Structure 1
Amino acid sequence: MKPNFVFLLILCCILSVSQAKVAAPAASNGFRVRAVNLGGWLVTEGWIKPSLFDAIPNKDLLDGTGVQFKSVTVGKYLCAESGGGTILVANRTAASGWETFSLWRINEKTFNLRVFNRQFVGLDTTNGNGGAGVNLVAVENTPGISETFLILRNSDDPNRVRIKASNGFFLQAKTEELVTADSKGNAGWGDNDPSVFIMTNTGGLHGEFQVTNGYDPFVAPTVMKEHWKTFIVEDDFKFISRNGLNTVRIPVGWWIASDPHPPKPFVGGSLKALDNAFLWARKYGVKVIIDLHAAPGSQNGWEHSASRDGSQEWGNSQDNIRQTVAVIDFLTARYAKNPSLYAVELLNEPRAPGVSFETVTEYYKSGYEAVRKHSSTAYVVMSNRLGSPNNTELFPLAGGLKGTVVDVHYYNLFVDLFKNMTAQQNIDYVYNERRGELSAVTTSNGPLSFVGEWVAEWNVKNATKEDYQRYAKAQLEVFGRATFGWAYWGLKNVNNYWSLEWMIKNGYIQL
């Protein structure tokens, strides 16, 4: 019996080692990333730290804010007929896309108004005498003086406004079909003045563009440098290293490559903060993943990609692809010799179908080459396109390149599927559905898999601490199967369950 027992024991050990070799990342000695995202630091997200916006004058009218204007005399909404390309009217009883104008902020009171089809409202300049007329149109793709307006708010009711055109006169709705800029206005704000409109704010973005363009250009650098100096500090890296984490994923914006003089409205200083992060990482034995979170023109139209007004324009031209590759080249060259550099993520969350598969693979090829020009050891992370039905679409590209990783993000949030799930249903979803999804992108001979963003937050009402603990444990167990590793979003947040620091200190997560 003894020889058989020894044989079985040896066989089990061989199988165990064999399985471990399959599961562990290649050429990494079994190292797996257990990371936290430093979100909201070098790329602003207002929901993470709302106080960053507190001192902005007229802070409810930032770039990308949607506004609607209802004439007090006609009783109907201003509308860019056909969504743009022709005249403005005031004949809509309800407001939707064509009746919503997206603000481009010049200063706290002066704006361009962008319409649904992305043209700008302006004075009609086709009156034959070379000057601007008084009729309103939305035909220009690039705003100029004629597309600039002053929004004056009633001090007693800020939603009552007058809109002053560049010719010095106010807009007025004379009839449902005739909107002109030829009113002198008057001292009152009553319902009998056709130059008075009721403004409705439909919300907007609170990203890097909004915060830097919202403040005075002399104030913005001071505000942002104070934020970078205080939001993430050296003690955070000490906390990370002592609490079971070994890596940080640091979102950065494309303008960092132009530091200290990035294009307006962005301000310099984020590169110095990133340098500090590498110093602290080295001191406390923490690895760094540089994550290009915001690309020129925005790859997804959201505030965390520094979109100005929700438009998604990255990849529309070869110029911004080349510019993005140059950013990757700059960052890799700067940190390639730093032992803390572990990976470079080429682009966070490009969104389909706005970013085509052909465009993103073209960029990923060039980005990979830019990293390899400076480093043969740094992993190259390629984020799946959000909205694509095929989670393995990057495999033919990434599988043929050495040291590649495919990044997937898993949130039990943001879609209707999770709105009415119970705590147990969410936990079961992680163990069943998420496990299957992750298995599909985790292969023994393909690119490594990385759950680059997840969080122990959900839509469950009145969940107990034990519910949160079980939910976090489920995700740690399942996402721990990713061959590259995982990264929690994020370290700090005013919303407690989104803050890994708070979750650890209060016993919700144990690593």
Structure 2
Amino acid sequence: MKQLWRINETAFNFRVFGKQFIGVDTDGNGIGIVAISKAPGHSETFEILRNSDDKNRVRIKASNGYYLQAKTEEVVTADSQGNKGWGDDDPSVFVMKMTGRLEGEFQVTNGYGPENAPQVMREHWRTFIVEKDFKFISQNGLNAVRIPVGWWIASDPTPPPPFVGGSLQALDNAFQWAKKYGLKVIIDLHAAPGSQNGWEHSGSRDSSQEWGKTDETITQTVAVIDFLASRYANSPSLYAVELINEPLSPGATLSSVIEYYKAGYAAVRRHTSTAFVVMSNRLGPMKPRELFPIASGFKRSVIDVHYYNLFEDMFNNMTVQQNIDFVYNNRSSQLNYVTTSNGPLTFVGEWVAEWQVVGAGKEDYQRLAEAQMEVYGRASFGWAYWTLKNVNKHWSLEWMINNGYIKL
């Protein structure tokens, strides 16, 4: 299995196990294929040509001008003229199967490229979340917004490629609208340098999780928090800074997370003594109270937990009532365990009225939403729905409110 790094519409790099890149062996006979480079260059860049009748059938052109071909089941060389047909008997024809695809901001901007990505993203920022949305939020009984941002916002307006400038202005606009409509803002660092969980929403290029494995990624992340805290410390709308979203265990170790939280908290406190500092519990193998020793020593600290009746096999065959009972029993117990009188505040920073139940009706969704709001309403810092707008209607709080599924 290879991870495909897209350069443009036809040029790609292939990253394999050990995070090494496939390339032509320039130190050998010039046709051998090796995986020894940790960074892609000219020799590690390939052109993919697709069969017009079957896009899964491809030829792969190497930097030496020849096509790859399979000599045996274990040996591939770059020495084919590639001028035959597209049949199974041609060793230069490969069948390419995509086993997974990321669809985050990295993929959007990288996919559209430097010429088109700026226009695409500017249009998105101009139209997706606008002032009337903040008015809608304030008119429907909500008092705050949790806004996810990527680490590259600190380099705006010239972030490192493929990201494009404009996200900082979008956040500035959000603070202006929040002030106008009396809302508070929680800035959520959703994507950290190197990716803290390998998922598309953390800015990962190929599902790799590198954050926290070097001091550099932590130092760079602290600098982003310092930038954000400095910029918005004097805004009456700044309510909290969330230092990172969903660091994933075991890749994100407890020691690296604690090291970062200490430095991130200090960065916020250099600029504001009143903003809350939110620390996300790790996902994956972890102990729910593992952040208590550090968080309890901080002033105005918050632990963020995310509760979804999704993403785990245990929910696959649950009925409507079993899902609702799980919220009232299991989620309530989990939240009570991390909500203490003398510890950090608790925040259910993400939840959604969605599940794996097939054929559920409106009343079923209403009951699920009501159960979660009742239980998560006991969190001492409150809750946040994921998300305000979404093409999947139950994930859109706006749609759920407008269509009577959720009443606040």
* TM-score, with length taken from structure 2: 0.99
Map of 1:104 onto structure 2 = 5
Q: Distance in 1 between matches of 2:74 and 2:257?
A: 45
- For the pair shown, the structure with the greater C-alpha radius of gyration is 1
The alignment-based identity, stated in percent, is 73
Map of 1:124 onto structure 2 = 25
Q: Distance in 2 between matches of 1:177 and 1:254?
A: 41
Map of 1:204 onto structure 2 = 101
Q: Distance in 1 between matches of 2:251 and 2:235?
A: 36
Shift of 1:156: 1.3
Q: Which residue of 168, 172, 191 corresponds with 1:294?
A: 191
Map of 2:383 onto structure 1 = 486
Map of 1:416 onto structure 2 = 313
Q: Distance in 2 between matches of 1:414 and 1:175?
A: 40
Are residues 1:304 and 2:205 paired?
no
Are residues 1:215 and 2:103 paired?
no
Shift of 1:136: 1.0
Q: Distance in 2 between matches of 1:207 and 1:179?
A: 33
Q: Which amino acid aligns with 2:336?
A: S
* Residue aligned with 2:55, SS: coil
Q: Which residue of 357, 366, 373 corresponds with 1:469?
A: 366
Q: Which amino acid aligns with 2:141?
A: G
Q: Which amino acid aligns with 1:282?
A: K
* Residue aligned with 2:95, SS: strand
Map of 1:445 onto structure 2 = 342
* Residue aligned with 2:96, SS: strand
Are residues 1:319 and 2:216 paired?
yes
Shift of 1:117: 2.3
Shift of 1:365: 0.4
* Residue aligned with 1:126, SS: coil
The runs of 5 or more residues in structure 1 that have no matched partner are: 1-99
Map of 1:343 onto structure 2 = 240
Are residues 1:393 and 2:290 paired?
yes
Shift of 1:216: 2.3
Q: Which residue of 168, 171, 180 corresponds with 1:274?
A: 171
Are residues 1:184 and 2:71 paired?
no
* Residue aligned with 2:53, SS: coil
Q: Distance in 2 between matches of 1:374 and 1:270?
A: 22
Map of 1:137 onto structure 2 = 34
Map of 1:382 onto structure 2 = 279
Are residues 1:113 and 2:14 paired?
yes
* Residue aligned with 1:421, SS: coil
* Residue aligned with 2:71, SS: strand
Q: Distance in 1 between matches of 2:361 and 2:146?
A: 29
Map of 1:358 onto structure 2 = 255
* Residue aligned with 2:264, SS: helix
Map of 1:265 onto structure 2 = 162
Q: Which amino acid aligns with 1:380?
A: V
Q: Distance in 1 between matches of 2:23 and 2:376?
A: 52
Q: Which residue of 223, 228, 232 corresponds with 2:125?
A: 228
**After superposition, what is the alpha-carbon deviation per residue over 1:72-103, rounded to whole angstroms, capped at 9, x for unaligned?**
xxxxxxxxxxxxxxxxxxxxxxxxxxxx1111
**After superposition, what is the alpha-carbon deviation per residue over 1:213-264, rounded to whole angstroms, capped at 9, x for unaligned?**
1112111001001101100000000000000100000000000000000001
* Residue aligned with 2:17, SS: coil
Q: Distance in 1 between matches of 2:96 and 2:287?
A: 43
Runs of 4+ with deviation above 3 angstroms: none
Q: Which amino acid aligns with 1:112?
A: N
Shift of 1:428: 0.4
Q: Distance in 2 between matches of 1:395 and 1:259?
A: 35
Shift of 1:375: 0.3
Q: Distance in 1 between matches of 2:357 and 2:74?
A: 49
Q: Which amino acid aligns with 1:486?
A: W
Q: Distance in 1 between matches of 2:73 and 2:324?
A: 55
Shift of 1:346: 0.1
* Residue aligned with 1:471, SS: helix
Q: Which amino acid aligns with 1:338?
A: S
Q: Distance in 2 between matches of 1:106 and 1:496?
A: 34
**After superposition, what is the alpha-carbon deviation per residue over 1:343-391, rounded to whole angstroms, capped at 9, x for unaligned?**
0000000000001101000000000000000000000000000013311
Q: Distance in 1 between matches of 2:330 and 2:195?
A: 31
Q: Distance in 1 between matches of 2:186 and 2:90?
A: 58
* TM-score, with length taken from structure 1: 0.79
Map of 1:168 onto structure 2 = 65
Q: Which amino acid aligns with 1:208?
A: E
Q: Distance in 1 between matches of 2:72 and 2:281?
A: 50
Shift of 1:310: 0.1
* Equivalent residue runs for 1:7-26 within 5 Å: none
Q: Which amino acid aligns with 2:30?
A: G
Q: Distance in 2 between matches of 1:178 and 1:306?
A: 35
Q: Distance in 2 between matches of 1:448 and 1:242?
A: 26
Shift of 1:405: 0.1
Q: Which residue of 249, 256, 259 corresponds with 2:153?
A: 256
Q: Which residue of 330, 335, 340 corresponds with 1:433?
A: 330
**After superposition, what is the alpha-carbon deviation per residue over 1:312-345, rounded to whole angstroms, capped at 9, x for unaligned?**
0001111111110000000011000000000000
Q: Is the 8 A contact 2:249 2:286 kept in 1?
A: no
Q: Is the 8 A contact 2:352 2:386 kept in 1?
A: yes
Map of 1:331 onto structure 2 = 228
Matched length? 408
Shift of 1:166: 0.3
Q: Distance in 1 between matches of 2:88 and 2:326?
A: 55
Are residues 1:151 and 2:52 paired?
no
Shift of 1:198: 1.4
Higher relative contact order (CA 8 A, sep 6+): 1
Map of 2:303 onto structure 1 = 406
Shift of 1:187: 4.8
Map of 2:267 onto structure 1 = 370
Shifted more, 172-181 versus 366-375: the winner is 172-181
Q: Which amino acid aligns with 1:374?
A: H
Q: Is the 8 A contact 2:331 2:375 kept in 1?
A: yes
* Residue aligned with 1:312, SS: coil
The runs of 5 or more residues in structure 2 that have no matched partner are: none
Map of 1:195 onto structure 2 = 92
